[in-house]
Amino acid sequence: MTNKTSSTYSKDEAYSIKIGMYAILVIAVLFAAYMIRRDLTANQEKSSYYSINARFGRTDGLSIGNDVRLAGVNVGKVIDMKIDENYRVILTMEIMDGIQIPDDSSASIVSNGVLGGKYIELEPGGSEEYLEQGSEISFVRDAMVLEEVVDRIIGLGKAKRQKQKEQK
């Protein structure tokens, strides 16, 4: 009888080792992605910004930290919200230096999909004068509330049905 020591693993042990290796690999990839994202965010925070303002009647769902976009590209973020003496919301936005926004541009609060978050979309105007530090955007479009849109659609449907009943 010979004394054999096995240098191979059983199927269960080999399977467990594979699962462990995959788990380590996934954790390493997630950690690398986190570090890259952190570095990109740190670099973006080091960029220079200038601030501009806009006054809205309602800002439903918008909050500090939300994006400011121009042509779909993120060019800044909302850094402050205050209410003025006429109960309008004054938004302060940080815009990256080097992004020149014409002074006749407009700002809209739009939704990122049906259930997505809100952001500010800037629509550039045609002026050759540009907004500077502390300037205010004159043309704004308030946030549209989903419940109001649904109520309007339902109201239109009811009115159409009522009109069809009256015609019969």
Q: 82 with 28, same domain?
A: no
User: Which pLDDT score, from 0 to 100, does residue 7 have?
Assistant: 62
Classify residue 93: in a domain, yes or no.
yes
Q: 131 with 58, same domain?
A: yes
User: Which pLDDT score, from 0 to 100, does residue 160 have?
Assistant: 85
User: Which pLDDT score, from 0 to 100, does residue 112 have?
Assistant: 79
Question: Cα(102)–Cα(46) distance, rounded to whole angstroms?
Answer: 25
Q: 96 with 143, same domain?
A: yes
pLDDT tens for each residue of 102-123: 989 999 888 877 667 888 999 9
User: Which pLDDT score, from 0 to 100, does residue 5 have?
Assistant: 47
Pair 139, 107: CB distance under 8 Å: yes
Query: In this structure, what token pair is assigned to residue 47?
Result: 């960029």
pTM more than 0.75: no
User: Which pLDDT score, from 0 to 100, does residue 80 have?
Assistant: 93
Q: 89 with 131, same domain?
A: yes
By residue range, what is the domain housing residue 117? 49-150
| Nearest alpha carbon to residue 51 among 25, 78, 70, 19 | 78
Residues of the chain with pLDDT under 50: 1-3, 5
Classify residue 41: in a domain, yes or no.
yes
Alpha carbon of 99 to those of 42, 64, 71, 93, 124: distances in Å?
19, 21, 12, 13, 11
Q: 76 with 95, same domain?
A: yes
Question: Cα(2)–Cα(5) distance, rounded to whole angstroms?
Answer: 10
Q: 26 with 60, same domain?
A: no
Classify residue 162: in a domain, yes or no.
no
What total of structural domains would you count in the chain?
2
